[in-house]
Amino acid sequence: MSPNEQEDLARRRAEIIVQVQSGQLTATEAACRLGVSRKTYYQWERRALGGMIEALQDKESGRPSKPHDEQKEGLQKRLEDLEERERIREQVDRIRSVVDEAKTSAGKK
């Protein structure tokens, strides 16, 4: 089932749950329309209402904090270390080049 089909199905279930909650349908009618047992309908209803309650709770303002990812942090540290080593190696190479040029110039005199 594609994501669009899944979303359409979830919307259909939500619409029917709202109809039951507003008294337009009975749970038995809803289960019949959805092709499931009343027990399954009630499970979906409980999940839907629980999700709605969770979604409507006050949240801290601002951006949510990023999850702590030790592997990502370790890789970032390793990258920074490698970049620092590369900078040092380039500096050493430049110094060697200057020293070699100085030796070559001194030998020609």
| DSSP-derived secondary structure for 28-87 | HHHHHHHTS-HHHHHHHHHHHHHHHHHHTS---SSPPPPPP-HHHHHHHHHHHHHHHHHH
What is the rounded CA–CA span in Å between residue 5 and residue 35? 17
Evaluate if residue 108 carries a pLDDT over 70.
no
16-33 pLDDT, tens per residue? 999 999 999 999 999 999
Residue 16's CB: how many other CB atoms inside 10 A? Answer: 22
Average of per-residue pLDDT values in the chain: 89
Mean pLDDT of 46-53: 91
Interval 62-74 mean pLDDT: 79
| 41 burial level (CB within 10 Å; 0-12, 13-18, 19+) | buried
